[in-house]
Structure 1
Amino acid sequence: MNERISVIGGGLAGCAAALAAAKHGAAVTLFEQRPATTPETHQTTLLSELAGTADLGVEDLDRATGLLKAELRALCPEMMVCIEEARIGERTVAVGRRAFAQEVTARVTAAGVELRREEVLSLPEGP
């Protein structure tokens, strides 16, 4: 794949998309608004900084959180590795917020994703 992909937002979904696209050979640019624009809920410039709870729920497949993690394992295993590296819970999947964000940031960088620290206010014309 020689595609050029732009991903807007360095949160969980944006980083998962960037990692998956890079794994499949795309040249990826990830746009993250921080530090120029920093919401009150964020305290660092790290990617995938968890602003809410750091408890990602149980892994039981009959629960939404368990299904989400199963989907992440299948579609973007790199994100699950980050979760496991930052995991602090046993029964539920709780992660250290900073450790998780550091792990994701390191993996995005290692994957060769171009990180642009700027806010995207509009999309370009065309396909």
Structure 2
Amino acid sequence: MNRSTKLALGAVVTALTIGGTVAASAQPDQVHRAATTAGWAKVSASGHILGGQGIRGINKFGIGRYNITTTHGLNGCALLGTVNTNGGSDPGPGSSSILVGQVNGNTLFIRTATPSSGGNAAVDSDRPFSITVVC
């Protein structure tokens, strides 16, 4: 073992002994890029984009049903959604739901619903919402 190898090995042992971490060179196939927000939108119940980035357009095609086209591919991305309130009277947390799914390479399907008062069934309803795409 040459002197530089002994010094490197000593540094690793010292770092591990005192609870440190050791940085190592990653192989090209092991390099992962950091997750970034590829797109986001705040949408009114009527389907108007109130703010956003990376969004090409929206199509409201039924009660509580929306398609959002993004400028970024969605494969391998996390799709996040939440129902919002635009102020005023809103039934409050736990009384609504949102489904976010991928239709194709750059289109999201959004469904918003409010549970019916007569049971556990969800009823599609127009609700303001926000979505985020993280890749």
TM-score by length of 1: 0.22
Higher helix fraction: Structure 1 or Structure 2?
1
Larger Rg: 2
TM-score by length of 2: 0.21
Higher strand fraction: Structure 1 or Structure 2?
2
